[in-house]
Amino acid sequence: MNNHIKIIYCTQCRWLLRSAWMAQELLTTFDEEITELTLVPGKGGIFQIWINDELVWSRQETGQFPEIKELKQLVRDRVAPDKDLGHSDKKSDDSS
Amino acid sequence: MNNHIKIIYCTQCRWLLRSAWMAQELLTTFDEEITELTLVPGKGGIFQIWINDELVWSRQETGQFPEIKELKQLVRDRVAPDKDLGHSDKKSDDSS
């Protein structure tokens, strides 16, 4: 099973560092499940996360970045539905 | 012009952090030239850097990682040959 994550970020907004941080979080947690993770420089305030060609996060729609826990749940649900994310893996509306 | 960088790293060797660091260095320096940069988890001691489907670094061949300056020169020569890399951009055998 191939799983390809893509993070498109705005260079003008200087979102490389947070995108690379998210990339490392995902590659650490899903080291057996992610086949490749691509960082894509963009413009004009774009921040999107794609999992296997499905758009799972767009800052233009949500107005914000995902919490890292939320992001991991989005990935887990699609690439490793049985995976336990540990103590942070409460139900999605738990903000702890 | 599309330029696609790929870094394949061994997860068993815990080379994610240095790979992600190199990714950020390249995406910072070549923010206008790189179209996408892909991190690919691998096994068995692999560490390879590909630029547009050309293998430009293999730790299995060289026995070491590239200096970041060396890596930037490899990328520059292929994606932005006229780009000045600044004070670090001396001739390749300059170790400063």
**CB B38 to CB A34 under 8 A?**
no
Position B87 pLDDT exceeds 80:
no
**CB A16 to CB B39 under 8 A?**
no
pLDDT band (50, 70, 90) for residue A91: low
| Cα separation, B59 vs B22, whole angstroms | 14
A11, A17, A23 member nearest B39 (Cβ): A23
| Residue of higher predicted confidence among B89 and A68 | A68
pLDDT band (50, 70, 90) for residue B90: low
- pLDDT score of B64: 97
Partners of A7 in beta bridges? A39, A49
Minimal-distance CA residue of chain B relative to A23: B20
Partners of A66 in beta bridges? none
pLDDT in tens, B28-62: 999 999 999 999 999 999 999 999 999 999 999 99
Q: Annotate A57-81 with three-state secondary structure.
A: EEHHHHCCCCCHHHHHHHHHHHHCC
Under a CB-based contact definition with an 8 Å cutoff, are residues B36 and A38 in contact? yes
pLDDT in tens, A23-73: 999 999 999 999 999 999 999 999 999 999 999 999 999 999 999 999 999
pLDDT band (50, 70, 90) for residue B89: confident
Question: Which uninterrupted H or E stretch holds B8?
Answer: strand B4-10
Angle of CA points A73, B8, B61, to nearest 5°: 160
Position A92 pLDDT exceeds 90:
no
**CB A24 to CB B20 under 8 A?**
yes
Chain B interface residues facing chain A, Cβ-Cβ under 8 Å?
6, 11, 16-17, 20, 23-24, 27-28, 31, 34-41
- Structural domains of chain B, ranges and CATH numbers in brackets: 4-79 (3.40.30.10)
Minimal-distance CA residue of chain B relative to A14: B28
Q: What is the mean pLDDT of residues B82-88?
A: 88
- B-chain CB neighbours of A35 within 8 Å are 40-41
Position B96 pLDDT exceeds 50:
no
CA count, 13 A, side-chain hemisphere, A73: 14
Minimal-distance CA residue of chain A relative to B39: A37
